[in-house]
């Protein structure tokens, strides 16, 4: 509100002369008149904020207007400077929420997951049985002896030829009385053997032959059934530990049934004699391969494991561990790990042996983003919780502060009786009521008069609006005449 203060730069008094009165008589209806004109540029009159030009004179021609020829004088009344700005008005109501923005572009595709671990090696297949040995072919007829050749020239010294013969008194190769094997070779140190050592090594053998022994040979070097049975047959073992001669044959003495033996088959164990000279065991199998044990070897007693080396990657089958490795002794173990604590938008996690797979709540699930400056918080379907930001009203004298609580604004009220401004100039002594409202006591201004034609309420009192000096009025005194206002709200005449 702009208040203007008027300064009277001159006073023009109309007085009655004691002598001849040349002024118009009341019957002529002539009266004093004032004409006002607002001017913006009044700097030449010392008025930096503008002024009002006031022309005054007597309406000689009684036409109800102050003509230029009737102007008796001119005064300039300066406008006052602008008053202090009033307190800001109360904040308007919050506007309606804007429409939702368009959906954002789809995010870039995430990186490919790590390659899974190599699967376990399959079990080794069982070894096939050894095929039967083929029958030995018949010996060919001996050829006729050729004529002696001519003596050759003396050759260079050569490695000696070695002949070894060994008799076996067993029924084999179709020889029921035993057989003799003869091996011929050169003591030349072939394939790593020692040359000229007088020993026929296996790699030095060039040829070998087998011949059946004749029956009943009277030769101490050839044993027959009438001599030493165990030595002839060389068949003593755990299930036939000895033989007894009866004058025509060797009778075996069998071990009792259940005696321990070895059947020579590594795929059986707990081998025992059957009381008839045979040894047999119980077939057994080994466990399948596992993460850190690639296989087993049967040794006729049990299973000998083959372990992967320590540190080899494996899977212990426990999704609650990661970085699983073998320990070199057949065991696979990893390091336990834990998943993050659940939230409303990620209610649980599923460990998969390498990390935690988040299980998100559905989009729109109500949650709390922990920000009191947002409301209507919901999950986005990807584990995040977010709300819509909102603002609180501007503070006032009677509500100096608001605290957002995540859904609305909680006001903080000033104490009752605190001075304030209710924005109504027709009240005064405004005070807060302790509930955020400001109210004052209504008051009235005096009735207007001719010299105080109006009052303006400013919230604390009444500002009088005085008529300019010289404005006709009635001072209520019949003894005076020419009553006029003095510009300060008073009316007076001349006796």
Query: What residues contact 116, with CB distance under 8 A and at least 6 apart?
Result: none
What integer pLDDT is reported at residue 339 of this predicted model?
94
- Decide: helix, strand or coil at residue 347: coil
**How far from 397 is each of 230, 393, 416, 468, 487, CA to CA, in Å?**
127, 13, 11, 40, 39
HSE of 295 in the Cβ direction (CA atoms, 13 Å)?
Answer: 8
Rounded Cα gap, residues 316 and 322, in angstroms:
9
Mean pLDDT calculated for residue range 149-172: 69
CA distances to 169, 244, 307, 420 from 234, rounded to whole Å, are 7, 14, 42, 130
Predicted confidence at residue 5, as pLDDT, reads: 29
pTM: 0.36
| Nearest residue to 7 (alpha-carbon basis) of 41, 40, 50 | 50
Q: Dump strand ranges (E) for 169-300.
A: 179-186, 205-212, 242-245, 250-253, 268-273, 279-283, 293-298
Q: Could you tell me the residue ranges of all domains in the chain?
A: 1-82, 160-187+203-224, 293-336, 391-440
Q: Count other Cβ atoms within 10 Å, centred on residue 188.
A: 18
% of the chain surpassing 70 pLDDT: 70
The gap from C-alpha 424 to its chain's centroid, in whole angstroms, comes to: 57
Calculate what percentage of the chain has a pLDDT beyond 90: 45
Q: Are 178 and 165 in contact (CB under 8 A)?
A: no
pLDDT category of residue 347 using cuts at 50, 70 and 90: very high
Q: Across all residues in the chain, what is the average pLDDT?
A: 79
pLDDT tops 70 at residue 268: yes
What's the whole-number mean pLDDT along residues 144-151? 65
Instruction: Tell me if 407 sits within 8 A of 387, measured CB to CB.
Output: no
Least confident of 31-40, 71-80, 313-322: 31-40
Which pLDDT does position 375 carry in this prediction?
A: 93
Read off the DSSP letter of residue 461. S
What's the pLDDT band for 222 if we cut at 50, 70, 90? Answer: very low
Of 406, 337, 336, the residue nearest 378 (C-alpha):
406
DSSP 157-197: P-PPEEEEEEEE-SSBTTBTT-EEEEEEEE-S-GGGPPTTS
Strand partners, 166: 181
Closest of 495, 490, 406, 396 to residue 436, by C-alpha: 396
């Amino acid at each position: 509100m702009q208040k203007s203060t008027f300064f009277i730069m001159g006073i023009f008094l109309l007085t009655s002369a004691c002598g001849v009165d040349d002024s118009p008589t009341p019957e002529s209806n002539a009266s004093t008149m004032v004409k006002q004109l607002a001017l913006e540029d009044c700097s030449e009159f010392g008025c930096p904020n503008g002024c009002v030009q006031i022309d005054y004179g007597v309406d000689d021609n009684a036409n109800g207007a102050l003509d230029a020829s009737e102007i008796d004088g001119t005064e300039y009344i300066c406008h006052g400077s602008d008053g202090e700005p009033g307190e800001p008005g109360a904040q308007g109501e919050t506007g309606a929420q804007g429409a939702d923005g368009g959906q954002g572009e789809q995010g870039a595709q995430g990186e490919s997951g790590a390659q899974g671990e190599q699967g376990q090696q399959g079990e080794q297949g069982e070894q096939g049985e050894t095929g039967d040995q083929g029958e030995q072919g018949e010996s060919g007829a001996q050829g006729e002896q050729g004529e002696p050749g001519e003596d050759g020239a003396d050759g260079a010294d050569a490695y000696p030829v070695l002949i070894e013969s060994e008799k076996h008194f067993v029924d084999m190769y179709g020889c029921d009385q035993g057989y003799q094997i003869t091996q011929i070779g050169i003591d030349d140190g072939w394939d790593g053997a020692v040359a000229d050592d007088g020993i026929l090594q296996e790699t030095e053998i060039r040829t070998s032959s087998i011949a059946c022994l004749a029956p009943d040979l009277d030769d101490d070097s050839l044993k027959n059934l009438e001599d030493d049975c165990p030595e002839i047959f060389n068949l003593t073992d755990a299930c036939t530990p000895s033989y007894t001669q009866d004058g025509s044959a060797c009778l075996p003495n069998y071990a009792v049934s259940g005696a321990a033996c070895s059947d020579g088959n590594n795929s059986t164990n707990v081998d025992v004699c059957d009381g008839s000279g045979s040894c047999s065991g119980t077939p057994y199998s080994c466990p399948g391969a596992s993460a850190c044990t690639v296989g087993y070897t049967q040794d006729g007693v049990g299973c000998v494991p083959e372990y992967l080396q320590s540190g080899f990657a494996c899977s212990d089958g426990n999704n609650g561990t990661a970085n699983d490795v073998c320990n070199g002794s057949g065991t696979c173990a990893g390091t336990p790990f834990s998943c993050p604590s659940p939230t409303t938008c990620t209610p649980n996690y599923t460990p998969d042996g390498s990390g935690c797979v988040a299980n998100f709540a559905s989009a729109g699930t109500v949650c709390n983003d922990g920000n009191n400056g947002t409301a209507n918080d919901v999950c986005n379907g990807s584990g995040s919780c977010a709300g819509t930001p909102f603002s609180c009203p501007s503070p006032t004298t009677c509500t100096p502060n608001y605290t957002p609580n995540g859904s609305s604004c909680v006001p903080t009220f000033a104490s009752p009786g605190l001075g304030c401004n209710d924005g109504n100039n027709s009240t005064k002594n405004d005070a807060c009521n302790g509930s955020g409202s400001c109210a004052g006591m209504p008051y009235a201004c005096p009735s207007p008069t001719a010299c105080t034609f109006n009052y303006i309420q400013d919230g604390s009192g009444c500002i009088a609006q005085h008529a300019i000096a010289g404005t006709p009025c009635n001072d209520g005194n019949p003894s005076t005449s020419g009553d006029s206002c003095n510009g300060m709200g008073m009316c007076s005449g001349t006796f």
